[in-house]
Chains A and B, each alone.
Chain A
Amino acid sequence: EIVVTQSPATLSLSPGERATLSCRASQSVSSYLAWYQQKPGQSPRLLMYDASNRATGIPVRFSGSGSGTDFTLTISSLEPEDCAVYYCLQRSSWPRTFGQGTKLEIK
């Protein structure tokens, strides 16, 4: 099983600041990694797929990078509505595995 580890666990930033979230896989997943956003009381929403492709309707301030074992989700200029938990998911092999999540707080 591929273990996916996210850091930091919690991130607290102000509106307009840049957020950098990390995801590390225990072995290479090539570019088969997605990022999801889950706001309180809501279902997860797909943000990025194949590491760097924005899903439909996702604002351009969200970007993703990485391949192999190390990946990054960047939010270039935080908005208050970006307050959420962010998860990464690898689809390189079964079982699919999610990271434990990064909680992003907006000051």
Chain B
Amino acid sequence: EVQLLESGGGLVQPGGSLRLSCGASGFTFNNYAMTWVRQAPGKGLEWVSDISASGGGTFYADSVKGRFTISRDNSRNTLYLQMNSLRAEDTAVYYCAKGDQVLGGYFDYWGQGTLVTVSS
């Protein structure tokens, strides 16, 4: 059974940093791309970032480019999102999701999400 478990969310001040983690199990982690998607309170889904199965390819939404960094540790079956220079508009539930290909596929399994609140 595929399981994705996010952690690392919480309350942070504007301009601060936070690192999210997503532990994966139930599939061969290094065979699949991974993704972060966020959802602001009461709003729709927003794609944030993709990383290829090897970690060699990364893609970002314009809204986070230069501030967020996606990475993965295939030896630990873990996905990360380093978030710097956080803004109020980054407040959201952050979901990690498994891709169905090495790169560029669909998101076929999702975690339960972790809430990030950016506020003073």
Contacts and interface: CB of A to CB of B under 8 A. Distances in A.
Q: Do A and B come from one complex?
A: yes
Interface string B72-89: 000000000000000000
Contacts of B45: 36, 38, 44, 87, 89, 98, 101
Given A36-B45, A43-B113, A101-B44, A95 B62 contact: yes
A49 B111 contact: no
A97 B95 contact: no
Contacts of A91: 104-106
Contacts of B107: 34, 44, 46, 89
B112 interface: yes
B44 A100 contact: yes
Contact of B110 (A34, A43, A95, A101): A43
Contact of A43 (B35, B50, B112): B112
What band does the interface of chain B fall in when counting residues whose beta carbon is under 8 Å from A?
20 to 34
Contacts of B109: 46
Contacts, number: 53
Contacts of A1: 62
A49 B95 contact: no
A43 B111 contact: yes
Contacts of A96: 35, 47, 50
Contacts of A100: 44
B59 interface: yes
Contacts of A89: 45, 47, 106-107
